[in-house]
Amino acid sequence: MSLKQQPTTENTPNGITNTGNGKDNNSGNGKDTNPEIQNFIDLQMEKEKIRLEKEAGITSSNIQHFSAPTENLFTADQRGNTTLLFGGLTWGHEHLIEGAFKGLGYKTTAIPTPDVEAFQLGKEYGNNGQCNPTYFTVGNLVQYLQSLENKGMSREEIIDKHVFVTAGACGPCRFGMYEAEYRLALRNSGFDGFRVILFQQTGGLDQVEMEAGLEMNLDFSMAIINAFNMGDMFNGVGYQIRPYEVVSGWAKVVIIKKFIFC
């Protein structure tokens, strides 16, 4: 004999069959099944939600999620009249990388060394939360583009005939956000649409895209790697001989004349 109580069944006057558990079979969620009452409750809850959002300054109906900006393409047919810009390295590395780019057939210019004015431009047009080196590098690019404008080039011509190349990576770290910081400063300074191309850290030695203006293939990667290695070597030589300088600054002159521009 089972001790479990069996539910009782009875017929109610309205024709609905109820069980002995005291609940209506047609209302399994415990809510009133009258649609008019439920609609009234839902309407009042929505009105209260809107009131509370207004008090808190929230406008949920106007939420616009972030989407990456559309990048103007740098294609193969633009190489002949487009100059690649880069910077933020030592003078030795920049000269060697500039030579590597030119050896691959690209028009290339290394941006001058950042100064205090570049730092101030980075703070003016960049993100308030940037790290200190980024203020210099981002502001330096803006400063160089402004110098081109001061020499008579229009902003449209500057945007169409120049591309900035820098290293990057994925992720929320500062290194992964540099591209966005460059774009923000460029947009705020009036150069919206200026192209920023990343050489991805995680992309390996071959990052070719079909008809891309900058072919990041094996030749490109090896040329850049060799330029960096030789730049490190020249800097190391400079550190070794600089303490023995008779004339201040002569070590740099020797390295430039005898090694880089020999």
Higher pLDDT, residue 12 or 46:
46
The Cα 206–Cα 217 span in angstroms is 4
Q: How many domains does the chain have?
A: 1
Is the pLDDT at 25 greater than 60? The verdict is no
Could you tell me what percent of the chain has a pLDDT over 70?
72
Is the pLDDT at 208 greater than 80? The verdict is no
Confidence tier at 4 by pLDDT (50, 70, 90): very low
Residue 124 lies in a domain: yes
Average pLDDT over residues 64-79: 74
Q: What's the confidence (pLDDT) of residue 95?
A: 86
pTM: 0.64
Residue 37 lies in a domain: no
Taking only the tens place, the pLDDT of each residue in 87-142 is 888 888 888 899 899 998 899 999 998 999 999 999 999 888 777 888 898 999 99
Q: What is the DSSP letter of 165?
A: E
Residue found by looking up tokens 């330096």 in the block: 140
Are the C-beta atoms of 167 and 182 separated by less than 8 Å? no
Q: What's the confidence (pLDDT) of residue 133?
A: 84
In three-state secondary structure terms, 199 is: strand
Residue 114 lies in a domain: yes
Residue 18 lies in a domain: no
The Cα 85–Cα 196 span in angstroms is 9
Q: What's the confidence (pLDDT) of residue 197?
A: 83
Q: What's the confidence (pLDDT) of residue 32?
A: 52
Confidence tier at 203 by pLDDT (50, 70, 90): very low
Taking only the tens place, the pLDDT of each residue in 134-169 is 889 899 999 999 999 999 999 999 999 999 988 766
9-11/17-19 β-pairing: antiparallel
Confidence tier at 210 by pLDDT (50, 70, 90): very low
| Structural domain span for residue 211 | 76-257
Is the pLDDT at 54 greater than 90? The verdict is no
Residue 83 lies in a domain: yes
Residue 50 lies in a domain: no
Residue 101 lies in a domain: yes
Residue 17 lies in a domain: no
